[in-house]
Structure 1
Amino acid sequence: MKTYFSDLIPRLQKYSRKLDDLTLLTDQHWVLIDGLGNSKNVFIFKKDNTLLLSKNGNVIKGNWEYLGNNSLLIDLDESYLYKHGFFDENILALKVDSKKEYTFLVNENKFEGELNNLESIFKFLEEKYLRKSPGEKESTIGRVLDDSDIPKNHKKIEKRLSDGNILTIYSTSEKTDDFNIGDRVSINGRIPKDGNYHYGWTGGITVQNGKIRW
């Protein structure tokens, strides 16, 4: 698979999902960015570790395996070992083991839209995760929470939002299934945008700067 050098991908590490997020990886149509306008290669990682590669409609079967330690083994005609580069719901960048080069795949929904070449991918990633106005602090929205963000002796309260995403409250309250203003929250493990979030029939919270405001 064609690879590309990039000094952008290492700067995006703190915004990336991990390769063990198999729900996001599997049963999606990932289109390979190979620079060939007359060829479309689509990878489908099945939950049973079957790998389907569609080359302009002709399907080849192989295997894939998550090896732990953010490593992915792809076995088609040959076996390839990749490390984690960058991963979100739109883009999968796999680092060639022992090299500073990446293979890029794009979710087909985005590939059919604006993300169908390397330049558009880099522009999209910079604007979404890195670009900020002069004097503006780098946004934490979308960043994965790490241990330093989460208070000690907290308890997790998980709620399913109306859009199907999982809201997690890192509660400091002593009461069961209760929380305090100022408690940290995440959606699918990431700091959410400011706003109102609703769950169940009547439940809801207001979030500001990644914490419960009301």
Structure 2
Amino acid sequence: MNDYLHNTIPNLKPFDYERHHDSHFINQQWVLVNGISEKKSIYTFRDDNILEIERKDATIKTSWTLSIHNIFTIETEDGIITVKAYFKDDDILVLNHQDKEEFALYINTTNYDDELNSVEDIQSFLKEKYRKKVSNVIYEHEFYYISESEEFGPNTVEELSEKVKNEDISAYCFVRDINEDDYSKRLRIVDLMQEL
């Protein structure tokens, strides 16, 4: 059953008590992605093993228990289920049902200003989240560039932007990541600047 989950959502990291419990799990507002178009549910795992499930019309209190490592038991309307917890990243939690090929996907909205009420809202959330992540990676990364048949660098995107602004180089110079051997990706400074 693990293969089903990992084929569907690759690169999951198992729940790690030391790393995740206090800072990423407890008292966070987790919006259930599965079925959000029919009914929005917000799950909050409390320190005292209380699980609050908030819906439009009511708040249900039930219980959860951490059994071993990343295996939880959760009391639901259908009885007690056993799930294995994974993180895709700090804001995406996956609870994999241990008896079925099913999993629940949650997004942490505790520090997110907008409401997640639909599939479109989730798509916007993920697009913005990963756009920021890419911007941060690009912002801190270094690149070589070619100008007048000579290679220069490495420089950060900010340094390259400054050189373009000062008209020292063209925004259309080819760049390569410091970890790449050639310019075959045909990436230009202007392409990097658009991501900032």
* Equivalent residues of 1:19, 1:87 under 8 A apart: no
- What percent identity do the matched residue pairs reach? 22
Contact 1:35-1:117 at 8 Å conserved across structures: no
Question: Deviations along 1:118-167, whole A, 9 cap, x unmatched?
Answer: 983887898869xx99xxxxxxxxxxxxxxxxxxxxxxxxxxxxxxxxxx
Q: Given residue 50 of structure 1, which amino acid in structure 2 is its aligned partner?
A: I
Q: Paired residues, what number? A: 126
Q: Residue type of the partner of 2:62?
A: G
Structure having the higher Rg: 2
Q: Which residue of 1 aligns with 2:11?
A: 12
Distance change in 2, residues 1:29/1:64 (3 Å): same
- Structure 2 distance, partners of 1:93, 1:111, is 22
Partner of 2:95: 94
- In structure 2, C-alpha distance between the alignment counterparts of 1:96 and 1:44, rounded to whole Å: 18
> How far is the alpha carbon of 1:86 from its aligned partner?
2.6
Q: 1:83-107: per-residue Cα shift (whole Å, max 9, x none)?
A: 1333532110111114443210111
Letter in 1 for 2:21: L
Report the alpha carbon displacement of residue 116 of structure 1 after superposing the two structures with TM: 5.4
In structure 1, what is the equivalent of residue 104 of structure 2? 103
Higher helix fraction (1 or 2) = 2
Contact 1:71 1:81 in 2 (8 A): yes
Letter paired with 1:108? T
Residue 65 of structure 1 pairs with residue 62 of structure 2: no
TM-score, structure 1 as length reference: 0.47
Residue matched to 1:81: 82
RMSD (Å), alpha carbons: 3.6
Q: Residues 30-179 of structure 1 correspond to what in structure 2 (within 5 A)?
A: 30-77=30-77, 78-109=79-110, 110=112, 112=114, 117=119, 120=123
The question of whether the paired residues in 2 share the 8 Å contact of 1:106 and 1:115 is answered with: no
SS in 2 for 1:103: strand
Measure how far apart 1:79 and its partner are.
1.0
* Counterpart-to-counterpart distance in 1, 2:33 and 2:5: 13
Alignment gaps of 5+ in structure 2: 139-196
Unmatched 5+ stretches in structure 1: 134-214
